[in-house]
Amino acid sequence: MGQIVKIFRDFMVALSTLKGQALKYMMYSGLIGMALVGILIWITVNSASWMGMMVASWIPWEWAQQSVFFSVIIGIAIIWFFWIVLKYILLILSGPMLSLASEKLEQQLGMNTGMRGFSFAASTARSVRINMRNLLKELVLTALLFISGLIPGLNLIALILLLLVQSYFAGFGIMDYYLERHFTYRESLKVVYNHKWAAIGLGAIFTILFLIPVLGVLIAPYLSTAAATRYFVRENIQTPA
């Protein structure tokens, strides 16, 4: 609970200090997010129907293909899949901008020692590597939990685990905008694991904000990045345990 309280406190500080240069970074990342949401809506409207029919055709039981319950489940699964993919595309495309924003904030906080410095190419490559790894893991775990949710008695447990998985990987991707300047890829995996509840808390904040129409897309990426940066600056982690 300590990690969750700390990351929430850092988010509130980031929110209260939102001004000047921070607004510029927020608008840039937010515009990218809004464009991606528009694309998601278009894809969902134009492909959800035939994708649902295709998935239903894979089910060997005729009663399942005619069941409203399965139609609803398939629809939710398709929307959830697009949401997961959208989230990672946003984290990758916004990566260089949010990494630079994180670096500037760290310098403002007086903790600019031991940093590699911003590099557009390195930041993009790192963001792709981290987020593709997280995307594959999250898709596999989400599929397993969706299947588990169809079993009576496991619905609630599967839903809770699904929310934790979603939040953890979202928080992971955001945290790396700070970690990439201080740790190698493998070191960052250990750091995030040691601070997994902070990652879950951060990912939950990001997800809740992102669900707010229009405004959430604008503010969620930057505020989450600022909260993660403040969290790690205060923790002052030197080497992963």
Ranges of each domain in the chain: 2-234
Residue 169 pLDDT: 93
Span 49-78, average pLDDT? 64
The token pair at 85 is: 């993919």
Tell me which residue of 137, 96, 128 sits closest to 221, measured CA to CA. 96
Q: H or E segment at 111?
A: none
What is the total residue count of the chain? 241
**Band of pLDDT at residue 67, cut at 50, 70 and 90:** low
CA distance 80 to 189: 25
Answer yes or no: is pLDDT of 63 > 60: no
Residue range 172-229, pLDDT digits in tens:
999 999 999 888 889 999 999 999 999 999 999 998 888 887 788 888 888 999 999 9
CA distance 241 to 222: 28
Residue range 121-150, pLDDT digits in tens:
777 888 888 989 999 999 899 888 878 877
Q: What is the pTM of this model?
A: 0.81
CA distance 97 to 174: 12
Residue 172 is given by DSSP the state H
